[in-house]
Each structure stands twice: as structure tokens, then as C-alpha cells.
Amino acid sequence: MASPVPDALIRAAERLFAERGSDQVSLREITAEAGATNASAVQYHFGDRRGLIRAVLAKHDADVERRRHALLDAYEEAGTSDVRRLAHALVQPLADELGNDDGGLGYLQLLSDLFNRPNPPYEPAAAEDPTHSVNRWRALVMPMLTPEAIRLHRRFDALRFTVSELARRGRTGRKDHRLFTSQLTDLVTGLLLAPVSEDTRKLLR
């Protein structure tokens, strides 16, 4: 029979991350929140803090991947070039986590914290996997962006903006996210397609 402790630790981390942000929560606080009697429970079950973070991400990533691939499949089947529809495919699978009472808000806050660090971490396997939904999305968006926009990492900025805004939304306590999500999709579309000014072009040269 599997131990209930790992799941309790993951849920405790999600709750605390949602309340205070992942960088403001210690492993000791997570252990206490989970009601674990072993002070080294996180290390025992996950190896270290990074292992716990990976477990939180893994709990949600599979559903986000499934939802985004479904949207990208529909996009490719339609055979049209539509940046807003691609923006929707980036935003909506993550926005669905706003309504996930099983740790969705903690997951979004964790993503926001990771993407807003000075040197955001990447998992090498995901970065090199063309079947990962974000990499698939990046490849579909690329032909519609200017070379300057690509060099300026607009696709990464779109993802970072998305998770930051969703984490902020999660802290409001609101329940109806339809208007917010549509507006966020509009903003991501604008971010991707915003003209690169001549001043910026000169600095790129």
C-alpha cells in the first residue's frame, strides 16, 4: 500500500505556495502543514526541494499538456494562420487550473515564481523534446513573427506574462474567469504581434 505522506506533502506545498509564493515557504513549513511526523519527510520522499517542486509540476503538467495538444491539433486541422487562436492554445490550458481545487492555484504560483527568476530553470528533457506542447506551440507561432520578435524572445515573454497574470488572478479569490481569460488571450496576441520599433531594431544590430 502506497504511503499517503508524499501526496500530503504535495498538497501542503500547493496550499502554501498559493498563499505566499514558493520562494517564501520553507521545507519545514511544508512538513508541518502536511502533518508529517518525520522532520525530514520531504528529503525522504523527494530527495530535496527541487524534487518536491518537480512533483508539484508533474501532478498538473500532464493535464495541461493534454489540453494544449488538443487545441493545437484542432488548430492544425483547421489549416489557417491565426495568432489569437495560438495565443488561446497557450493561455487556456493554464487558465483551466484557476478552477482546479486540487492545487491549481499553487501550481500557477509556482510556475510564475520559476519563470520570473533572473535565470529561469529549464528541464533539459522538455527543452529538447519537440513533442512537448510548449515547443510545438513555439514552432507553430514562429512563422508569424518577425525575425526581430524572435530574437527578442517574444514567445518566452508571452509564456512568462501568461503564468504571471494567472497567478495574480488566482490570488483574487474570484470564481468566474471567462472575461479575464479572453482579455489575457488578447494581450498575449498583442504581445506576440507588437511592432518592433526602429529604436529597438537599431539596438539589435
Is residue 27 domain-resident?
A: no
Residue 1: the pLDDT is 38
Q: Is residue 6 part of a domain?
A: no
Instruction: Give DSSP secondary structure letters for 32-99.
Output: HHHT-S-TTHHHHHHSSHHHHHHHHHHHHHHHHHHHHHHHHHHHHHHT---HHHHHHHHHHHHHGGGG
4: DSSP letter: S
Q: What's residue 40's pLDDT?
A: 87
Question: Is 46 a domain residue?
Answer: no
In terms of residue numbers, what domain contains 74?
Answer: 60-204
38 in any annotated domain? no
Higher pLDDT, 1 or 202: 202
Residue 198: pLDDT band by 50, 70, 90 thresholds?
very high
Mean pLDDT of 56-81: 97
| Domain-embedded: residue 19 | no
pLDDT of 194 over the 50 cut? yes
pTM above 0.85, yes or no: yes
Instruction: Tell whether 5 is covered by a domain.
Output: no
Q: For 115-170, how does the pLDDT look when each residue is reduced to its tens digit (9 = 90+)?
A: 998 876 555 446 668 889 999 999 999 999 999 999 999 999 999 999 999 999 99
**How much is the pLDDT for 82?**
97
pLDDT tens, position by position, 12-31: 999 999 999 999 999 999 99
Would residue 122 count as lying in a domain? yes
In a domain, 155, yes or no: yes
Provide the number of structural domains found in the chain: 1
Residue 2 has what pLDDT? 45
What pLDDT is stored for residue 30 in this prediction?
95
Cα–Cα nearest to 166, from 113, 203, 118? 113
pLDDT recorded at residue 86? 98
